């Protein structure tokens, strides 16, 4: 049960209309969280007066946001009408992209996915072509859903790089060359005529895993984004941790090796340079170039330059010594990086990206052992590890959830400064 009563509204500092909007949002959130729920139960949760509840519920029903959902038959008391959120009243698009894919989906107010569009493309680094695919992906998912455009609340974009959320600009991507200062919000708002929100995809994945995935019910969660780069998202019971400039979570650029390889960020020995997908491939290519015997080369068609991390993973599963050695090292470096992050943020659960799932049995035990050995005992006591349950859709789901949150947002109160 969720109690809303502690959000008391100061009597004098707020206008009547703000208090009314606040109470309405409170009731709507109560119905969303606890529904189907009766008006009497809403009173118990919100501690609002029954007259206000009756009036505000009527407005919510008239607006189409809330519908009746049968009668409450339990107990000895009078039967009561139950209320729930009208899931189909509003729809949100969530879209996630990178240099090689676009995943777009449409979710209703209950976060049920009603349409999805997944496209993978070998476009290389063509910035304009990627942008075109991104717009096409959103257009296609809206068309395929056959929905009334008036029900579309907004679009959430999960961006692979740095994002300026205030300006709605995709600042920089380390995976798409030349992708700098792209005004994505403006482009999408002009194209689709609905409000657009942006967030880094590591954070939308974190949000999705906490709400609907492996981290359901977890207060403090850390998500490890693993791919061409490495990042981490931190969720607290109060929301996502972004840092003052929105740059928090750059796990891939924490240092794990003295004087290690040069990183894309300009520094040396960052975690990304020794443990990301490209780093795994590079280490195999280098070792084979220096004459190491391994089946990785055959898996890559005999061309060391064509080796990818997937070839190394496959060889490791077959017991290849070089591949196993590379994964052993990778797990140690990842373990070091995550141990540092655990010491800093003290999460309850660490959720690994779905891209690590295929090598879960080869990597996770070693990562967990390193974390438990290197992080503080007090921080690892009770710490749980899990793998993403949402797979490749996590980023897009989180982006859609971000849009839907704006419907249920509780208005900010003007709290007086007592200092
Ligand atoms: Zn770096």
How buried is 5 (Cβ within 10 angstroms: 0-12 exposed, 13-18 middle, 19+ buried)? exposed
Give residue-wise pLDDT tens across range 14-73.
Answer: 577 788 888 999 999 999 988 899 999 999 999 999 999 999 999 999 999 999 988 876
Q: Name 71's Cβ contacts closer than 8 Å, sequence gap at least 6.
A: 79, 80, 81, 82
pLDDT of residue 177: 80
Return the bridge partners of 222, or none. 234, 350
Q: What token pair was written down for 131? A: 């942008």
pLDDT tens, position by position, 194-227: 999 999 999 999 999 999 999 999 999 999 999 8
CA 228 / ligand 1 centre spacing (Å): 12
CA of 266 to the centre of ligand 1 (A): 6
- What's the 207 CA to ligand 1 centre distance in angstroms? 25
Cis previous bond, 212, omega within 30: no
Separation of 31 CA from ligand 1 center, angstroms?
Answer: 45
The H or E element spanning position 278 is helix 277-289
- Mind listing the domains of the chain with CATH numbers? 16-85 (1.10.10.10), 89-206+396-406 (3.30.420.40), 217-389 (3.30.420.40)
Share of the chain above pLDDT 70, in %: 93
Listed residues: CB within 5 A of ion ligand 1: 253, 263, 265, 267, 270
CA of residue 51 to ligand 1 center, whole Å? 58
Query: Sorting pLDDT into bands at 50, 70 and 90, what band is 2?
Result: very low
The Å distance, Cα 248 to ligand 1 centre, comes to 14
Q: Averaged over 347-352, what is the pLDDT?
A: 97
- Distance between CA atoms of residues 24 and 150, nearest Å: 23
Q: How far is the CA of 262 from the centre of ligand 1 (A)?
A: 8
Q: What is the pLDDT of residue 413?
A: 63
What's the whole-number average pLDDT of the chain? Answer: 89
Rounded to an integer, the average pLDDT of 97-103 is 89
333 CA from centroid of ligand 1 (Å): 14
Question: Measured in angstroms, how far is the CA atom of residue 71 from the centroid of ligand 1?
Answer: 58
Question: 333 with 274: CB under 8 angstroms?
Answer: yes
Q: How confident is the model at residue 416 (pLDDT cuts 50, 70, 90)?
A: low
pLDDT at 359: 85
Higher pLDDT, 6 or 399: 399
């Amino acid at each position: 049960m969720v109690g809303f009563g502690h959000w008391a509204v100061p009597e004098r500092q707020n206008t009547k209309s703000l208090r009314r909007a606040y109470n309405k949002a409170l009731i709507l959130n109560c119905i969303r969280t606890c529904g189907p729920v009766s008006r009497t139960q809403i009173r118990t949760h919100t501690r609002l007066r029954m007259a206000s509840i009756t009036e505000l519920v009527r407005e919510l029903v008239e607006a189409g946001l809330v519908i009746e959902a049968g009668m409450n038959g339990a107990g000895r008391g009078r039967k009561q009408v139950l209320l729930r959120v009208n899931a189909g009243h509003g729809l949100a698009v969530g879209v996630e992209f990178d240099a090689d894919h676009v995943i777009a989906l449409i979710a209703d107010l209950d976060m049920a996915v009603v349409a999805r569009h997944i496209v993978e493309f070998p476009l290389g680094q063509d910035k304009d072509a990627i942008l075109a695919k991104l717009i096409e992906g959103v257009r296609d998912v809206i068309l395929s859903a056959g929905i009334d455009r008036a029900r579309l609340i907004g679009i959430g974009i999960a961006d692979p790089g740095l994002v300026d959320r205030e300006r709605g600009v995709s600042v920089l991507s380390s995976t798409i060359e030349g992708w700098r200062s792209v005004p994505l919000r403006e482009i999408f708002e002009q194209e689709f005529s609905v409000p657009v929100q942006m967030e880094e995809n590591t954070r939308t994945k974190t949000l999705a895993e906490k709400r609907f995935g492996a981290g359901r019910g977890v207060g403090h969660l850390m998500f490890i984004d693993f791919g061409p780069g490495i990042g981490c998202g931190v969720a607290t019971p109060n929301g996502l941790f972004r840092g003052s400039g929105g740059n928090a979570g750059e796990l891939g650029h924490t240092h794990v090796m003295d004087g290690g390889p040069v990183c894309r960020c300009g520094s040396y020995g960052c975690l990304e340079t020794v443990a990301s997908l490209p780093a795994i491939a590079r280490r195999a290519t280098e070792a084979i170039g220096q004459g190491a015997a391994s089946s990785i080369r055959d898996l890559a068609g005999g061309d060391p330059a064509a080796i990818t991390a997937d070839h190394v993973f496959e060889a490791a599963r077959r017991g290849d010594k070089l591949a196993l050695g590379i994964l052993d090292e990778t797990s140690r470096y990842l373990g070091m990086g995550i141990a540092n992050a655990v010491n800093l943020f003290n999460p309850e659960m660490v959720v690994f990206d779905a891209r690590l799932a295929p090598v879960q049995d080869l990597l996770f035990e070693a990562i967990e052992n390193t974390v438990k050995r290197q992080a503080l005992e007090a921080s690892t006591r009770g710490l749980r590890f899990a793998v993403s349950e949402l797979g490749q859709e996590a980023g897009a789901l989180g982006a859609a959830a971000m849009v839907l949150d704006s419907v249920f947002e509780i208005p900010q109160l003007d709290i007086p400064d007592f200092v």
